[in-house]
Chain A
Amino acid sequence: MNRVVRRRPFSTLLLVLLLALFGWGWHERVALWAFPDIISAYTAKEYCSCRYVMNNAAEYCHGYVKQWLPTSGFTDDPASKRVTVSSMGRSNSASWVGEHQGCRLNP
């Protein structure tokens, strides 16, 4: 073992780091899997509420929900008050439910 470390110090270090990374990834697998949904879900939900609960203008609401990561697709269907957003390979939508309950992220 010692001889391997001495002969290939960088490869060994790389291997240890990779193992640590995989270990961490496995440990955080639930959070990591959910992570790419954040931007699209946030944007869909808060845009829906900005537009249909607070009744602000569409242009204002686009600026209001803007984040540091870009979104790739955005559709707002005013007839059904349903907002769909894609980002980081995931898509999420939120819909206006009613006068008291405002908007809700769809399952």
Chain B
Amino acid sequence: MSKGLSLFFLFLLSVTAHAEYWPAEQWSTAPAISGPALQTLETYAFPPRDDATRKGIRTDALLVIRDGQLIYERYAGPTTAQTPHLTWSISKSLMATVLGVAYGEGLFKLQDPALKFYPPLQKHPAITMADLLHWASGLDWQEAYEYAPLKSSVVAMLYTRGHQDMADFTAGHKEYAQPGQAFRYSSGDSNLLAAALKNIVGPARYADYPWTALFEPLGIRKAVWEADATGTFVASSYAYLTARDLARIGWLMARDGRWRDRQLLPKDWVAFNREPFAHYRAHQDDTVPGGQWWLNRAADGAPRPWPDAPDDTFAALGHWGQAMYVIPSEHLVIVRYGDDRDDSYQHNELLKLALKAFAGKVQP
């Protein structure tokens, strides 16, 4: 065989080795996995469902993407592959991803004052876009849900005093700390981002922007994003996607913001999302905050929150057990929808069992 020909075969081999799978209208499917590790995972995630007491782990959907292919999915309760499921606070990470496209258009900078795009913040002129993305506005927000309904800012925002204009309701809070200096998880901060986006992209593009900027380029057809009475998207809570479609966002993030041959999100944007907030203090939350995403990183002397998952794992997390985990080093995206009404479900346990079932078999 001539040297040229063998080089040609070597080239062919390397092309196949680097072939990438991307979803078209549907995800392509990889050969199904079976065995005891998968059984253990299913036993954990899908115990007999108790709709009367609503106790225990109540998974609605579990879906795994490996190397750009659908390798596992299962649904329970009323949820099917066609259900646009409520994502609750996963919406925050989705809004960050929408903002990333606008950032790529050069429409704002991280150190821009949020006031520049949202005038009702005039009493808080020092809050920057980066501060809001870090949940570090310094606004005196009370996030507790069911257990402190009288004092809960989030209940008031979604259902009573704030629901007509959620960003304005947030801007009306006092400051308890200098902006950018302290972490406090706040749905209000996320809705200020959604309100800022209106002037970042302009009111004419705003109503369709999540679709034109993010969902349509990724082939997402069934997304719903509820808004308040002023038309501002409820970025804190109210995006709905099928599990398969949410995984497309995860795969975009696993690929550092690239979708096929298009760099949809600038790489430095994704790096910002995945960088721990410098002023986060150990145990302020269960997971380490980045830029509207949650990180499995050691921070401020505390070990990483999910010891059984690699430390490059990052996630979008929501109320009642909604979760999307992205593990770039394992080429994995895991979507888990649920309707958990207690604390039985544990992220680390799910990740441990899913990694046993699906990791470490990545093709070279």
Contact = CB atoms under 8 A, between A and B. Distances in A.
Q: Interface range on chain A: under 10, 10 to 19, 20 to 34, or 35 or more?
A: 20 to 34
A71 B112 CA distance: 46
B339 A104 contact: no
B78 interface: yes
Interface stretch (B25-33, B37-45, B80-88, B271-279): B80-88
A63 B78 CA distance: 12
Q: Which of B51, B77, B79, B150 has the most CB of A within 10 A?
A: B150
Interface in A82-107: 97, 99-105, 107
A35 interface: yes
Interface residues of B, number: 32
A85 to B, nearest CB: 11
B156 A104 contact: no
Contact of B78 (A35, A56, A99): A56
Contact of B160 (A38, A55, A57, A60): A38
Interface string B38-64: 000000000000010000000000000
Given A54-B83, A54-B240, A102-B238, A41 B159 contact: yes
B95 to A, nearest CB: 15
B350 interface: no
A54 B77 CA distance: 13
Given A31-B156, A34-B161, A53 B225 contact: no
Contacts of A45: 158-159
Interface in B123-175: 149-151, 155-156, 158-161, 163-164
Given A34-B161, A38-B155, 8 more contacts: A28-B150, A35-B149, A38-B159, A49-B226, A53-B224, A54-B85, A64-B339, A101-B225
Interface of A: 28, 30-32, 34-35, 37-38, 41-42, 45, 49, 53-57, 60, 63-64, 97, 99-105, 107
Interface of B: 51, 77-79, 83-86, 149-151, 155-156, 158-161, 163-164, 207-208, 211, 223-229, 238, 240, 339
